[in-house]
Amino acid sequence: KNEVEQSPQNLTAQEGEFITINCSYSVGISALHWLQQHPGGGIVSLFMLSSGKKKHGRLIATINIQEKHSSLHITASHPRDSAVYICAVRSGGGADGLTFGKGTHLIIQP
């Protein structure tokens, strides 16, 4: 079974700061997802990637397949970015569905 570790678990930063959230996994994967969950809200897919880098607005996701590591970056952070960010991986073979990290709780203070 793939083990997915996220760091940090909690992060508080000031508005405008550059944010990095990390995700490591133990077994080779076919895809990695970054998800966002606002308090009391649903889960929104931010990125799905299997190699390289993707950018959407102020969000950037990178993945290093050899090192089994991905990062989610937020540039010019804003209080509305406050949420739980979840990394999830899909491994090849076996039972389907995603294996999720426990999430990183991000608070951006004005």
Partner 1 sequence: DAEITQSPRHKITETGRQVTLACHQTWNHNNMFWYRQDLGHGLRLIHYSYGVQDTNKGEVSDGYSVSRSNTEDLPLTLESAASSQTSVYFCASRMDRDTEAFFGQGTRLTVV
For partner 1, the binding residues (CB under 8 A) are 4, 30-31, 33, 35, 41-45, 48, 50, 86, 88, 90, 95-103
3-class secondary structure per residue, 38-84: CCCCCEEEEEEECCEEEEECCEEEEEECCCCEEEEEECCCCHHHCEE
Which class for 37: exposed (0-12), middle (13-18), buried (19 or more C-beta within 10 A)? Answer: middle
